[in-house]
Amino acid sequence: MTENTVTIFIDDEPYQVSNTDNLLAGVLSQKLNLPYFCWHPSMGSVGACRQCAVTQFQDENDQHGRLVMACTTPVTDGMRISIKNESASEFREQIISAMMTNHPHDCPVCAEGGECHLQDMTVMTGHSAREYQGTKRTFSNQYLGELVGHEMNRCITCYRCTRFYNDYAGGKDFGVYGSKNQVYFGRQTDGALESEFSGNLVEVCPTGVFTNKVFSAHYTRKWDLQSAPSICSHCSVGCNLSIGERYGSVRRVMNRYNSEINGYFLCDRGRFGIGYVNSEQRIKQVKGIEQQSPLQLSALDVSKAFSHFRKKNFLGIGSARASLESNFYLKNIVGKDNFSAGYHNDEMQVAVQHSKILKQCKPESLTDIETSDLVFIVGEDITQTAPRMALSVRQALRNAAIDKASTMGIPSWQDSAVRTIGGTKLSPLFSLHSTSTKLDDVAEQALLSPVARISLCVQSLTNLLTSLKNSQLSHIEVEQKLAEYYQHQNHQRQLNTAEQNFVASLYQGICRAKKTTIITGTSLVNAELLADLAELVQCFQERDDINTPNLIVVPANCNSVGVLSLLDKHSLSVEQMLDKLPEKNNQQQDVYQGVIILEQELARCSHNQIQQLRASAKTLIVLDHTKQRLSEIADIVLPSTPVSEGDGHYINYQGRVQKFHQVHPPVLPVQESWRWLDMVADTLGIKVDSEVADNVDLSTPRNLNKQIKHVNKQETCQSLTQLHHFFADNYALWPQLIAAKAQQESKPVARMSHRASGRTSQMANIMVHEAKTTQKFDDSFSFSMEGASIKQTSDMPFTWAPGWNSNQSIGRYQEHINGPLQQQQKASFITFSTSLAENENWQESKDIAVNSSAKQNENCLNYVQQKNIYLSEQQAAMTPEFQLLKQSNCIFINANTALKAGVKNQQWCKLVFSATGENMQLVSQSVISQISILPNLPETLAFGNFSLCQSLSQEIEMKITLANDQEVTDYLSSYNDDILTAKASKESLLTRLKENDQTIPIRLVSGGLTDA
């Protein structure tokens, strides 16, 4: 029992309840049923719906009591309330019956039906018959884009949508209109919702006003979904998801509560970006392997195809979107000297700095970010690359208002009161980036700066911290110190006024802050910035008067940190690999037979590099789930699984190890990459680092000549657990992932709800004899409605509780409201070695970077591409709905540049970018784009939403001329063609999915190729 716990009496029974939250949260924490609408566990109380009425008594002699709204009542010691009291329960029923007077009669066609909070609460109050005989008010709906549907008739005016969209997520294009019985929630005009968190409206809305449009197009009820706990594969935050499948295709993604990461909310990329798993572009057949039986590919076919590679060397390229197991396996098949993560030289330098930072300090979780009172985001647009983190940053900014309210005695859960008191008061956010971001509107200062000058600002902050020992200086004094410090530097290394002001305010802010969080990322591919930030954090540790900030690095992909943990001093960059590939040995034979490419498209490689790769590799083996340019040119293509069809682990930005589970078995020959690699390893053998093996087993004679021991595998790994045992037996470095989890020998948890329907009919058109449910070796979940209750695991495939069909049922499984899950296991984190930093190639990165930035001519332009939540991540970008959201070209330039070129805002222009390439040849690219003028943009910086080719990354020149009508028309027609193509692919996808619904693939066992 903690000190905040008090005893209250609910219906004369004593309960221990926390007094830091409101009464409703207290009641729900005791797993008692009390209906509510407007209250949301993470958004607090406003008391709008009057649904959570309870009777409060003065003392034990009070017989009458009075009605209070539980959500706006604080918990006090010894308070006596009654939920069952007749006046309270009658009141609650009347509230529902009033809501029902206008609720349309459309549950059968409503996508929310079966997981509707309104349905649940109606049943809970006991209201069963509509007595009102009058007419119903109706509303017209709005078009809210391709992702969220709108059916305004169903609204019960709880105000949760606008509280989430506007207040919580900072949306601007949504609101509440009208009065009285005519309150309307929507946009001013029809149009796509602009917020990256619009999908949460679906879960936040207690009824079916906002529905998942993609899910509704190919709909199934919640109770019919076969779900598995999964991890988002679209960014490095690693939000927990529940992916639902029906009739062999993935239908939707819902939030899966994790108190330390995503809580109750997801971003739209995570929620809607799952479309790629159903894509037409999926690879479904092997290429380059001769198949003996026309019916199916056998394991023998694969080993025959690989038999002539026996004793041959391969190079391997892993990937930050493949699971940890697959990457680890690949590294050990090809050997550590031949492994690359698909990173280029500059990315390797970034990786070195990143791994140093991760070694030095552990990044905090999203929940911890929400407690900080100063956030400094530098060199990353997290609203687009890690959107869920941006949402947490927004919550952190509210801390100033919450603190102010608490000094007045208002608890933080009194949402509207806190917001009124706080007004526009926000905790400081400093943003320093090359593109404008969606957090700029809540930033105390947002400075746009070319890439090289960002590091300069960070360095000057470091200098301030080391030279100034006084944290009480005024702003002007700090600026003077800055000017003094830099007056001897050359012109380029001096800070301009805006930068001086920014750094000085940031210094003062940090001195005052109790908890600072610094967030950066790898999207600018700037190793110098990471090194500078590491140095910055280092010098905080020397200052006693300032708290050391937490440094968070946001890498690009879901498993970037996992790959980072596998890199060591022998790891290659893509360039090194390309150089190494044509090597010959003494007998003038090729050293390398070819390259094994694991779920990697080498997006940053130029066309020439890809040609070079193809020409120098005798055999190109590609494992991927979706067609891409490498799979087109490969000799052997092995179809692997996306996140929904396989098991594996992803490591998030913190180093947190999280398992994703198979939602449904794939159609053979598609199988997980690690299963393919397991088969490949059977013929190629695997290489065990004997240095490490010796430490484990001293009886093995030390082989000095060869540091690598070849192990011939005997048995195929049937399951991930077996694979882990195999790894753990052979490699001391393999993280102990299974140790904690192996102990649970309980009955597998059902992937389907106990109400799942259609079991004896869904495949009856193929064969009337029902196939038995798919079996899986060592699985902790069953492909069936039979199995243990979801209560037994913290990895809940879906959430449901008796009387609670919606996702609000999660409250029944939390220790207390907003707390961890009852079965929550301690998160495991991966450890890092500094082995990568030992490689001399990447060590001097800082000097290289400094030189290159010093080289940068003042007049040269720095073009930075804006990141886009929908299209920047390779997998999510394959979702047709996201392709429909593609925007036409737009570039932001400085007012002077525009004036010189004689162009105005919003005009269509032709931009010619040119640069001198590596071989001193002139590279140029012309782009038709709309101009946006930003007055505070430095002249040497421009950013836009289109990409330039790789050789145009540095020292480019830009010529702007007005585009003629023909050029604009041509561009717009090609843009419209893209949109039309996306529309067509969306429709054809839907048609195909519907056809597939009737031919559900039968898998008796979900294992590898050897299974049925």
Partner 1 sequence: MNKNSFKNSLLISQLRTMWLVIKHTFTKADTVQYPEQKPYLAPRYRGRIVLTRDHGGEERCVACNLCAVACPVDCIALQQVVDDDGRKRADFFRINFSRCILCGFCEEACPTYAIQLTPDVELAEYDRQNLVYEKEHLLINGPGKYPDYSFYQQSGIAIAGKGKGEAEQERPPIDVKGLMP
Contact in structure between 888 and 972 (CB atoms under 8 Å): yes
The residue (of 160 and 246) whose beta carbon lies closer to partner 1 is 246
What is the CB neighbour count within 10 angstroms for residue 631? 21
| Nearest approach, Cβ of residue 219 and partner 1 (Å) | 5
* Nearest distance in Å: CB 783, partner 1: 15
What's the gap between Cα 389 and its chain centre?
9
**Smaller CB distance to partner 1: residue 827 or 990?**
990
Least spacing, CB of residue 754 vs partner 1, in Å: 11
Of 198 and 216, nearer to partner 1 (C-beta) is 216
Nearest to 946 by CA among 868, 869, 861: 868
| CA–CA distance, 244 with 954 (Å, rounded to integer) | 45
Q: Which of 618, 994 has the CB closer to partner 1? A: 994
Distance in angstroms (rounded) separating the CA atoms of residues 329 and 146: 40
**Cβ atoms < 10 Å from Cβ of 771:** 13
Of residues 96 and 374, the one with the C-beta less far from partner 1: 96
Q: What residues make contact with partner 1 under the rule CB under 8 A?
A: 104-109, 113-114, 134-141, 151, 153-154, 177-180, 182, 184, 186, 216-221, 223-224, 247, 755-762, 764-765, 767-769, 994, 997-998
- Smallest distance from partner 1 to CB 119, Å: 12
Residue 34 vs 156, nearer CB to partner 1 = 156
Smallest distance from partner 1 to CB 226, Å: 14
Closest CB 189 distance from partner 1, rounded Å: 10
Say which residue the tokens 């997520």 belong to.
Answer: 169
Give whichever of 208 and 669 is closer to partner 1, judged by the CB atom: 208
Q: Output the smallest distance, CB 102 to partner 1, in A.
A: 9
| Residue 59: both structure tokens together | 């003392």
Q: How far is the CB of 465 from partner 1 (least distance, A)?
A: 54
CA angle 126, 131, 137 (to 5 degrees): 105
Instruction: Tell me how far apart the alpha carbons of residues 88 and 557 are, in angstroms, rounded to a whole number.
Output: 51
Minimum gap (Å) between residue 763 Cβ and partner 1:
8
Q: How far apart are CA 83 and CA 733, in angstroms?
A: 56
Q: Which is nearer to partner 1, 770 or 838 (CB)?
A: 770
* Shortest distance in whole angstroms from residue 790 CB to partner 1: 18
Q: Residue 216 CB, nearest distance to partner 1 (Å)?
A: 7
One-letter amino acid of 500: Q
Rounded distance between C-alpha atoms, residue 162 and residue 631, angstroms: 46
Write out the two tokens for 741: 């989890």
Integer Cα distance of 760 and 778 in angstroms: 26
Q: What is the rounded CA–CA span in Å between residue 209 and residue 110?
A: 9
Q: Which is nearer to partner 1, 769 or 826 (CB)?
A: 769
List, edge to edge, every strand of the sheet that includes 80-82. Answer: 13-18, 5-10, 80-82, 53-57, 66-69
Of 185 and 306, nearer to partner 1 (C-beta) is 185
CB 936, min distance to partner 1, A? 36
Longest dimension (CA), the chain: 100
How far is residue 912 from each of residues 198, 314, 642, 966, measured CA to CA in Å? 37, 42, 39, 17
Q: How many CB atoms lie within 10 A of CB 712?
A: 10
HEC string of 265-321? CCCHHHHHHHHHHHCCCECCCCECCCCCCCCCCCHHHHHHHHHCCCCCEEEEECCCC
Of 146 and 499, which has the nearer Cβ to partner 1? 146
* DSSP 8-class letter at 339: E
Contacting residues for 772 by C-beta, under 8 A, at least 6 apart? 1004
User: Closest distance between partner 1 and the C-beta of residue 567, in Å?
Assistant: 46
DSSP states along 749-817: EESB-TT---TTTTTTTT-SSPPPPPB-TT-SEESSS-SB-GGG-SS-SS--BTTB-SGGGGGGTBSST
d(CA 605, CA 614): 12
Taking the complex as a whole, how short is the minimal distance between the CB of residue 753 and partner 1, in angstroms? Answer: 10
Distance CA(754)–CA(782), nearest Å, equals 12
Closer Cβ to partner 1, 134 or 802, answer by number: 134
Q: How many CA atoms lie within 13 A of 966 on its CB side?
A: 0
Least separation, in Å, of the C-beta of 121 and partner 1?
19
Q: Could you tell me the strand order of the sheet in which 339-340 lies?
A: 339-340, 313-317, 592-598, 619-624, 636-639
CB of 883 to partner 1, least distance (A): 21
Rounded Cα gap, residues 839 and 79, in angstroms: 66
For the bound state, the minimum distance from the C-beta of residue 211 to partner 1, rounded and expressed in Å, comes to 11
Residues 6+ apart with CB under 8 A from 318: 326, 327, 330, 331, 339, 340, 341, 342, 563, 566, 598, 600
> What are the structure tokens assigned to 300, written together?
């023998």
Please state, in angstroms and rounded to a whole number, the distance separating the CA atoms of residues 547 and 706. Answer: 49
Q: Which is nearer to partner 1, 134 or 701 (CB)?
A: 134
